Amino acid sequence: MKRFIQTMALALAVLMIAGCAHQKPVLYSSSDQNTAGNQAIDACTARARSAGVGYARGSNVGRNAVENGAVGGAGGAVAGAIYGSAARGAAAGAAGGVAAGLVRSLFHHDSGPSPAYKAYVNRCLRDRGFDPIAWN
């Protein structure tokens, strides 16, 4: 059992790290511009950060946990009423709902940069003569 828990913890850590990888713009350019393009991407992303434009989208983890707790509490109260203790069922349901919401938020998140960050970096790249065509 201990080995299983260690394996699951390691798998969760790997998934969280993989989920945190930042996307970068893909440039329409010839192969001889690769190095210059990568340098321009680095400069433009640094410029966006220094201007206060953040990469990440807003997080709703707290709100989602509360919503899941309320839904879990209501469901738990109904199940508890059927099986003998509405209060105990509501408490268990709320706790389960919050836990499920927090775990789900680890795996379900808005992928990619915020629209403002994308627009800022794309504009910076265009000003430097590059043509961003997508983000990967």
pLDDT at position 6, please?
66
Indicate the domain borders of the chain.
Answer: 31-58+112-136, 59-109
pLDDT of 114 above 70:
yes
pLDDT of 102 above 80:
no
**Banded model confidence at residue 107, pLDDT cuts 50, 70, 90:** low
* Positive or negative torsion for Cα 53, 57, 62, 63: positive
d(CA 89, CA 74): 9
d(CA 90, CA 79): 8
pLDDT of 20 above 60:
no
Q: Residue 134 — φ and ψ, nearest 5°?
A: -165, 180
pLDDT at position 18, please?
47
pLDDT at position 124, please?
97
Stretch 31-42: mean pLDDT, rounded?
A: 84
Between 54 and 105, residue with greater pLDDT: 54
* Positive or negative torsion for Cα 83, 85, 88, 94: positive
Q: For 49-91, write each residue's pLDDT tens digit.
A: 999 998 887 655 555 666 666 666 666 666 667 777 777 776 7
Average pLDDT, the chain: 75
Selection from 55, 29, 45, 34 nearest residue 133 by Cα = 29
Secondary structure of 58-122 in the HEC alphabet? CCCHHHHHHHHHHHHHHHHHHHHHHHCCHHHHHHHHHHHHHHHHHHHHHHCCCCCCCHHHHHHHH
pLDDT at position 59, please?
52
Stretch 8-24: mean pLDDT, rounded?
A: 59
Q: What letter would DSSP give residue 55?
A: S
Stretch 105-132: mean pLDDT, rounded?
A: 85
Strand partners, 33: none
